[in-house]
Chains A and B, each alone.
Chain A
């Protein structure tokens, strides 16, 4: 935007050239020749500015494209994040399986205790 602002005098110069051309109808031939030379110079300068301006527009257009594409690129999961999720899932699964085994082992442990104990203890006691 800053560069565009610097280019703002361009239309002013053009305006001045056009005004000069119009005024020429009321001035001398010599003056007229000067004016034509000046106008030519103006047109050449204007051409150079236009090339610069076009380059600037292209640069900005490219920038816009990059900016709109950036969120889409960000939506793809970060591989480190995915690895962490996989790890959490693995841990949850293995913990659940381990808890299952632990609870079942507890049942079997009480069964073994009772076998030694030969049924002296009521079932409710200690089984919690």
Chain B
């Protein structure tokens, strides 16, 4: 793979060309098979920035082209030896050309999506600026997904009143299959990478919670994943970001979605939190699978009956009529154990299978300590203090629930 960046005013354009052994078919770090749509994309910065460190340009490019690159990545400007080494250690590729010095910064920014998890991160780091990725259409790819209201998310991010940098990009349209989306999950930070020198960034905080970081996330359900290749601090992506002078920070990596929900709903950003935009008017639709899942968690956190019109016979509820495992199963257990009258909801069958109790799901109310050990020095204390004060830590028995996840 060969990549080249060109700048036109506030737009940085990435072009890439496949080597002989590269292919349109690719595999993302989480195992998802993808197919390339086209070989260019753009990042529109909030204002013209004419100089971006080559390591940052290389990092941003790699979040787009990594799935399709087989054995070689050639950048258009020399990268630091550290960045090339992080690439060669993390992936079976040769990286270059090498030359130039590494970069560094001082501040921590939040990659803010507008969901409950990133709102929880924002409540933990009240002074950190936001960087928001906004999807825009690709000039060469017809947009068949106009129901995705990226403009509403950007508007809500602005309404938070926090220091905000919005980067607009069409990079999601480089993906033909399964659908437009981040080529690698880390591409959400491509804009933050390009703005990192401007914002003097040393780290980016993401809203990935304990399920995504330690419990295998949605895709490899049921496995404890200390070695998570996407989000562990010394995984291949963690080391690559660090080589570009941008540490990956997961402030909510040790707490469950129930706890991030509780923190988000209890924060000043409550009114701006969104997990679904299909309802028109920028609100949740209440009829999709994600809305049902989030409603279960919210009802459990608020200790009230489920409020939904979705019935067990609806297609969005079909998976809960099957026996486990489920994606995000720890949260299904948590909800089933706490929502009054669960036997009259679409989760009735799941509740019967899981037989979870408040006692068996209490670990999901506490923080898993090893998640804090992963947080780089400058920011660890602030986050650890918050966890001690607002959440509390897991007992040894509770921590074992994390570490034996998928073995019971």
Q: Which residues of A contact B (CB under 8 A)?
A: 95-96, 99-100, 103-104, 106-108, 110-111, 114-115, 119, 122-125, 127-128
Contact = CB atoms under 8 A, between A and B. Distances in A.
Contacts of B40: 127-128
B17 A104 contact: no
Given A108-B24, A114-B20, A122-B2, 16 more contacts: A99-B140, A99-B141, A100-B176, A103-B37, A103-B141, A106-B38, A107-B24, A110-B17, A110-B39, A114-B19, A119-B2, A124-B6, A124-B76, A127-B17, A128-B15, A128-B40
A80 B157 CA distance: 47
Contacts of B15: 123-124, 127-128
Contact of A103 (B2, B16, B38, B74): B38
Among A103, A106, A125, A127, residue most surrounded by chain B Cβ atoms (within 10 Å): A103
Task: Give the top 4 A-B pairs by smallest Cβ distance, nearest first.
Answer: A124-B4, A123-B2, A123-B4, A111-B18
Interface string B302-320: 0000000000000000000
A96 B24 CA distance: 18
Nearest to B142: A96
Contact of B24 (A104, A114, A119, A125): A104
B22 interface: yes
B141 A114 contact: no
B147 interface: no
Contacts of B355: none
Contacts, number: 68
Nearest to B22: A111
Contacts of A96: 142, 144
B17 A123 contact: yes
Interface string B1-31: 0111110000000011111101010000000
Contact of B19 (A106, A108, A111, A124): A111
A110 B20 CA distance: 10
B350 interface: no
Among B16, B39, B144, residue most surrounded by chain A Cβ atoms (within 10 Å): B39
